[in-house]
């Protein structure tokens, strides 16, 4: 309880257990001195001794040899931090990765990101920059620390779900983090208290990292950083036709694998176009025209107009605020969906009474003609 308790239990719960087990005068903890005669029997197949702390570290670690205390003589010592704050009616988000001597990397992130998401991204970048090395990484984020040391293995075992069965927040960043954890040769992730005064080395470096993250948040995010942070870069594959177009336009291939036209921006392959458009729409919930104008300034991709229209039309937030958007259908014309369960028709019909069941709720997919019916006792819109 003294060694692993603070990592797994809240302070209030830990204090309660300490009072019940350690400070209770009616409870005494003693080591059993009775000798088991079986220990004198010679055997070659004797089971190994069980160490609870060692077993917990092995089972619940996201990678072998993961430490929460610094490695001696590391190749790198890094400090990470993320920042998210409003200013002049706009939210600014940034991250920073520093060494003991300099700022290794800092940049702005999409304005819709939270501070926790920015802290995860800072850790991902620190792990990527320390690939193949022995590294100590310090952070003041309990969220990132718990994700690596505690929750990561649980997520891999039961899926990226909460206790209620809902999808966890920052799913994409956590997936990237669980992959990036394996990049360093040896990795120690240490938690240090944030916003501390004094001249201790860790406090000074943590204050510098926090300042650099806030300063970076005021910049304009680069197109490459935005795409890298919001998409699955494993899908970065250009077709032969796209490569021919990029070369004919005089585009330059970047070290990260992207193609950049001469007038700036990024050329997005058709495979990643829907994902990039959807991620930008999540941040702004703009309509088709405004979203297309925003993306056209920074990116090139095929069928951008159709993608913006399709994604904005399927946005639940816009549907709730604009329930009657779009032109009215011509009287007498039944609209048909373009994909299964995109357009549904729902209505009640009467049926022969059976105990308390009097009505039939019928649902029809206008695209696939799939029909579902549910018998009900009440004829209400809430059903």
Report the alpha-carbon angle 320-326-331, nearest 5.
115
In this predicted structure, which of 184-188, 229-233, 284-288, 343-347 has the lowest mean pLDDT? 229-233
Tell me the pLDDT band of 135, cut-offs 50, 70 and 90: very high
Read off the pLDDT of residues 47-61 as tens digits, 9 standing for 90 and up. Answer: 666 677 677 666 667
HEC string of 44-61? Answer: CCCCCCCCHHHHHHHHCC
The pLDDT value given to residue 237? 82
pLDDT of residue 211: 83
Per-position b or e across 3-13, b if 16+ CB within 10 A of its CB: eeeeeeeeeee
**Mean per-residue pLDDT for 363-374?**
90
Q: What is the mean pLDDT of residues 314-329?
A: 71
Distance between CA 151 and CA 178 in Å, rounded?
11
128 vs 101, higher pLDDT? 128
Question: What's the token pair of residue 331?
Answer: 């009287």
216/230: higher pLDDT: 216
What is the arithmetic mean of pLDDT over 92-119? 86
pLDDT of 144 higher than 60:
yes
Check whether 173 has a pLDDT greater than 60.
yes
Phi, psi of 364 (to 5 degrees): -130, 130
The answer, yes or no, to whether residue 26 has pLDDT greater than 70, is yes
Closest CA to 125 of 104, 110, 143: 104
What is the C-alpha R_g of the chain? 28
pLDDT score, position 279: 79
Band of residue 208 on the pLDDT scale cut at 50, 70, 90: confident
Q: Is the pLDDT of residue 241 over 60?
A: yes
Tell me the average pLDDT across 315-319.
Answer: 77
Sheet holding 371-376, edge to edge: 344-354, 357-365, 371-376
Give the rounded percent of residues in the chain with a pLDDT score beyond 90: 7
Question: In sequence order, which residues have a C-beta less than 8 Å from that of residue 204 and are 6 or more positions away?
Answer: none
Nearest to 15 by CA among 29, 35, 1: 1
Which one is predicted more confidently, 126 or 283?
A: 126
Confidence of residue 127 (pLDDT cuts 50, 70, 90): very high
For 144, other C-beta atoms within 10 Å of its C-beta total: 27
The residue ranking higher by pLDDT, 147 or 224, is 147
Q: Look over the chain and give the mean of its residue pLDDT values, rounded to a whole number.
A: 80
Whether pLDDT at 83 is above 70: yes
Question: Are the beta carbons of 257 and 236 closer than 8 angstroms?
Answer: yes
198 band by pLDDT with thresholds 50, 70 and 90 = low
């Amino acid at each position: 309880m003294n060694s692993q308790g603070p990592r797994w239990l809240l302070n209030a719960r830990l204090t309660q257990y300490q009072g019940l087990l350690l400070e209770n005068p009616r409870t005494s903890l003693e080591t059993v001195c009775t000798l088991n005669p079986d220990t004198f029997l010679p055997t070659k197949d004797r089971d190994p001794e069980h160490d609870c702390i060692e077993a917990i570290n092995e089972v619940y670690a996201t990678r072998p040899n993961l430490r929460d205390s610094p490695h001696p003589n590391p190749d790198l010592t890094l400090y990470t931090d993320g920042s998210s704050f409003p200013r002049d009616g706009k939210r600014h988000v940034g991250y920073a990765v520093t060494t003991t001597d300099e700022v290794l990397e800092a940049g702005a992130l999409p304005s819709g990101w939270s501070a926790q998401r920015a802290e995860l991204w800072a850790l991902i970048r620190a792990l990527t920059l320390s690939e193949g090395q022995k590294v100590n990484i310090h952070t003041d984020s309990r969220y990132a620390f718990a994700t690596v040391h505690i929750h990561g293995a649980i997520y891999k075992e039961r899926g990226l779900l909460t206790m209620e069965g809902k999808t966890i927040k920052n799913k994409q960043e956590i997936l990237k983090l669980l992959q990036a954890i394996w990049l360093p040769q040896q990795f120690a992730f240490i938690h240090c208290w944030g916003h501390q005064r004094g001249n201790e080395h860790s406090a000074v470096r943590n204050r510098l990292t926090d300042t650099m993250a806030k300063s970076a948040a005021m910049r304009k995010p680069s197109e490459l950083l935005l795409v890298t942070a919001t998409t699955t870069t494993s899908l970065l594959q250009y077709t032969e036709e796209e490569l021919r177009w990029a070369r004919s336009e005089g585009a330059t291939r970047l070290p990260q694998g992207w193609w950049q036209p001469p007038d700036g921006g990024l050329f997005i392959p058709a495979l990643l176009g829907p994902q990039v458009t959807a991620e930008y729409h999540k941040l702004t919930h703009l309509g088709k025209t405004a979203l297309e104008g925003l993306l056209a300034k920074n990116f090139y991709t095929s069928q951008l107009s159709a993608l913006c229209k399709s994604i904005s039309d399927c946005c639940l937030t816009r549907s709730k605020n604009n329930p009657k958007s779009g032109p009215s259908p011509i009287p007498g014309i039944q609209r048909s969906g373009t994909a299964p369960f995109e357009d549904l028709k729902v209505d009640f019909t009467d049926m022969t009474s059976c105990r308390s069941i009097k009505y039939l709720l019928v649902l029809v997919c206008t695209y696939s003609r799939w029909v579902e019916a549910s018998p009900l006792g009440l004829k209400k819109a809430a059903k």
